[in-house]
């Protein structure tokens, strides 16, 4: 098995929670967000320029839109951000009268956006349990709730044949699999594909963001584990661990010219100043993993 190399692409790029990496193949740019700083970033790998748009609420996901601009998860809203003007317009709002917010989201092969919510933080005791849901925003801008009673809605991925949908709820520490109907967007037959619960949180953390490679293997960033794990959803086995020099690893995506570079985001929250200074000085950075021997597919954009 290849011995991957981990490089820092942007040091301490995020000062809260770096998340939602999305490789925009057309512009060779890495999109990502800094959730609690309310920032959307666009890092042009050709020029080295990292542009930022500051919004007025937590921003949890960013996906290019075929008609222009980007769809972002903004608090409890899915909105369109026009990059050049900074203008934001709401498409849908969910979970009214709650302290919920959107978290991770991605588009399927039909250009529908799948995005989930999570409950508000409880004072030092995690998040409100089972307060979130998984939604699907169709290309006609209608929205449908697909899964209820979610703790922390996170990583999403689809198999090459679009017959299986993978979805993470972080608190049970499971990657679920569903049968998926691409034409209708229907999901059914929920089961556990990869279970992190038997492993300690110290070594394997909470499964967070996720991507899939061309061989159908899942790459899962695990929050609190300073690592990304390669998993086989067919057997449930963890195949490989890639150590990342930042404790709160949040998400991953394939990028680069050949889509064989694994970009990794992480958070800087929950670290004491001493921990940041002595143990994890690269917290909040954007990392690039090469030499994995794997590659991904181009990411889908929103077609609505």
**Is residue 121 marked as binding?**
yes
What's the rounded Cα separation, in Å, for the pair 59 and 14? 13
**Is residue 275 marked as binding?**
no
What's the rounded Cα separation, in Å, for the pair 102 and 126? 16
Residues 6+ apart with CB under 8 A from 52: 39, 40, 41, 42
Q: 129 with 105: CB under 8 angstroms?
A: no
Task: Kindly provide the residue ranges of all beta strands, DSSP E only, lying in 55-112, ordered along the sequence.
Answer: 59-64, 70-74, 77-81, 88-93, 101-107
Q: 252 with 218: CB under 8 angstroms?
A: no
What distance, in Å, lies between the first and last C-alpha atoms of the chain?
41
Q: Which of 39, 208, 213, 260 is catalytic?
A: 208
Residues 6+ apart with CB under 8 A from 56: 38, 74, 88
Which element (helix H / strand E) includes 273? helix 273-278
**Is residue 208 marked as binding?**
yes
What's the rounded Cα separation, in Å, for the pair 256 and 254? 7
**Is residue 101 marked as binding?**
yes
Closest Cα to residue 187, out of 231, 235, 142, 134?
Answer: 134
The question of whether 208 is a catalytic residue gets the answer yes
Residues annotated as catalytic (active site), given as ranges: 208
Binding residues for a divalent metal cation: 19, 154, 208
Binding residues for substrate: 101, 103, 121
Binding residues: 19, 101, 103, 121, 154, 208
């Amino acid at each position: 098995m290849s011995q991957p190399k981990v490089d820092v692409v942007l040091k301490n790029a995020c000062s809260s929670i770096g998340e939602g990496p999305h490789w925009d193949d057309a512009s060779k740019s890495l999109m990502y967000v800094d959730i609690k700083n309310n920032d959307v970033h666009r890092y042009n790998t050709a020029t080295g320029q990292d542009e930022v748009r500051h919004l007025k609420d937590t921003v949890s996901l960013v996906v290019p839109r075929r008609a222009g601009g980007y769809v972002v998860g903004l608090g409890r809203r899915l909105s369109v951000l026009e990059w050049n003007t900074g203008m934001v317009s709401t498409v849908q709002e969910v979970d009214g009268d709650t302290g919920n917010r959107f978290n991770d989201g991605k588009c399927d092969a039909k250009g529908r956006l799948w995005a989930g919510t999570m409950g508000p933080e409880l004072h030092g005791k995690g998040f409100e349990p089972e307060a979130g849901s998984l939604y699907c925003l169709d290309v006609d801008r209608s929205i449908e709730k697909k899964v209820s009673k979610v703790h922390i809605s996170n990583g999403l991925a689809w198999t090459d044949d679009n017959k299986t949908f993978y979805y993470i709820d972080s608190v049970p520490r499971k990657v679920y699999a569903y049968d998926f109907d691409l034409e209708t967007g229907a999901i059914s037959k929920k089961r556990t594909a990869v279970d992190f619960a038997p492993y300690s949180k110290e070594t394997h953390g909470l499964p967070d963001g996720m991507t899939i490679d061309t061989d159908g293997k899942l790459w899962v960033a695990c929050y609190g584990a300073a690592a990304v794990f390669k998993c086989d959803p067919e057997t449930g086995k963890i195949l490989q661990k890639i150590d990342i020099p930042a404790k709160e690893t949040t998400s991953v995506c394939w990028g680069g010219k050949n889509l064989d570079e694994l970009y990794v985001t992480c958070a800087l929250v929950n670290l004491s100043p001493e921990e940041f200074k002595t143990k994890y000085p690269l917290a909040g950075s954007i990392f690039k993993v090469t030499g994995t021997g794997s590659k991904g597919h181009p990411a889908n954009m929103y077609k609505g």
